[in-house]
Structure 1
Amino acid sequence: MRIGIIGRGAIGTGLIDRILTTDGLDLSFVLTRRPATTAERSPEASVTHLTDDLLATTDLVIEAAHPDVVARHGARILEHADLMVVSAGGLVDDARREQLVATARRHGRRIILPYGALAGLDALAGRSHTWRSASITFVKPPQAFDPPPADRRSASVLYDGPVRGVAAKYPRNVNAMVTFALATTGLDDTRAVLISDPARTDASLEFEATGEDGGTLRVAKHQPMIGVSGSEMPDAIAHSLMRCAGGGVGLWFG
């Protein structure tokens, strides 16, 4: 499987290392805003422009940069390759998402949302489940938000409402919330609560989903933060890549 990476941050760098050390995986390209240096892993694969010729020799492209990448490049990528979207906020716009899904189906491709911070995605995304209600709460220290909260000295609820609204306000902070909503009751019917707490040095994520049969799934997790993401994110995305390469994925469209 030939894999292209968009973004060379912590997640992108971790994926490059995994691809270069795994039999059966080849690095097709790394799209960045600047040329790679000789000190970086596999600088010869670095490109600053995405071309159809490059995509034609790629099986899977992993977006690990920003939600805007999905809007700019998503449709063209799906004409040639599967697309794994790390920045799930890029799929919040319904018209854009429907257009991308239609493109994926037309070309026999898939849009894949990786596990990331969302433990339990397999159970949420099971095609046999119908969810009646869903809510998700994220508590993080103020320095882990982009943009940062106006008041960094006291705990405060930054948002309480539908996931669609919090994705517009904090597009780089709520990928797990968007993935959770798309896997359960949708962006408008899934409740999101985002809390800034200066007393915290880690982050906590809790969700609850109730099925039509009354069954309930609850998950709670804590993890240290690296920038705006949890410390487990690079490994979690790499795990999703390995599952995808083996034929298994969590939440996908197409």
Structure 2
Amino acid sequence: MVNRITGRMSGDLRRRRVGIVGYGHLGQYLVKQLQDDGLRHGLELAFVWNRDARKLVGTVPEELQLGKLTDFLERRADVIIEVAHPCIVQDHGESFLKAADFMVGSPTALADLDTELKLRKASREAGHTLYIPSGALWGGQDIQRLDDGGLLQALTVTMVKHPSSFRLGGHLGELAKGAQQERVVLYDGPVRRLCPLAPNNVNTMAAACMAAPSLGFDGVKGCLIADPNLPNYHVVEIEATGQGGFSVSTKRKNPAACGAVTGAATFAAFWSSLLVCQGHGGRVYLC
């Protein structure tokens, strides 16, 4: 008999094998969680890949190190997690989905319409799930339910961080550097235009766009603010508007060291997302 939650046959105790692509702070955290607590949750590490393989030496067992990313099939992973860079999603996401479930840690990559459509198609055809982790997006599944019911009319995501917590170039980078005395609005407009300008800083906004496909990257509004008076946390504000005068606003403070791109609570959120990555079939699923 098949378990409707896990998709496995009753009595099947096979662990789900997890591949980690990227070994920055978040990748290191996930690897340690899998090594320390994975077995209790029916998970085991299949492989770890990093662009600079030297970073894995001495910290990841040699047999778990993947030298060439294109060799990932040899490790027979059930779910692959990208926590590296949007280009990995664009270059390899389709191949990953043909073989396994795929959690996109850099959903800003999906602001490229061709990439989004390609991955949605691969998910449907292969029967594997394209997972979008909620990360710092509070109430993401509520947004998704509202959108699924055709009731969502508008969605705005505002992210406020200390200027040193941004990894920006060009005009936005200059604006952030200039925010030394007072808060400065770096961007206010459709999320699609912002994602390629701030790929490492607005994954929360991209997750909101995937949670609300009726609006998508063109319809969801993003506001990015640098505030020198926020040295110890990031702020994410969500404002959703529905039919009949419905509206909801949330404000989330995420503790973060000064200069940190990712808030502390986001690490635990990723681990929680991984624990539900099974049994959802060929679809996009916010976890």
- The two structures have a TM-score, normalised by structure 2, of 0.81
1:192 aligned residue (211, 222, 225) = 222
How far 1:113 moved relative to its partner? 0.4
How far 1:175 moved relative to its partner? 0.3
1:28 alignment counterpart: 46
Letter in 1 for 2:229: A
- Output the aligned Cα RMSD: 2.1
Does the Cα contact within 8 Å between 1:5 and 1:64 map onto a contact in 2?
Answer: yes
Q: Percent identity?
A: 33
Is residue 2:178 matched to residue 1:157?
A: no
Q: C-alpha separation between the residues in 2 aligned to 1:194 and 1:5? A: 29
Letter in 1 for 2:210: L
**CA distance 1:112–1:213, change in 2 (3 Å):** farther
Matches for 1:57-136 after TM superposition, within 5 Å = 57-126=76-145, 127-128=148-149, 130-136=151-157
2:199 alignment counterpart: 171
1:229 aligned residue (262, 272, 286) = 262
Q: C-alpha separation between the residues in 2 aligned to 1:47 and 1:80? A: 16
Length, aligned pairs only:
251
Runs (5+) with no aligned partner, structure 2: 1-15
Larger radius of gyration: 2
- The two structures have a TM-score, normalised by structure 1, of 0.91
How far 1:193 moved relative to its partner? 0.9
Does the Cα contact within 8 Å between 2:17 and 2:45 map onto a contact in 1?
Answer: yes
**CA distance 1:22–1:246, change in 2 (3 Å):** farther
How far 1:99 moved relative to its partner? 1.1
Letter in 2 for 1:22: G
How far 1:246 moved relative to its partner? 7.5
> More deviation in 122-131 or 97-106?
122-131
How far 1:153 moved relative to its partner? 1.2
Matches for 1:207-226 after TM superposition, within 5 Å = 207-226=238-257
- Structure with greater helix share of residues: 2
**CA distance 1:19–1:210, change in 2 (3 Å):** same
How far 1:182 moved relative to its partner? 2.3
- Structure with greater strand share of residues: 1
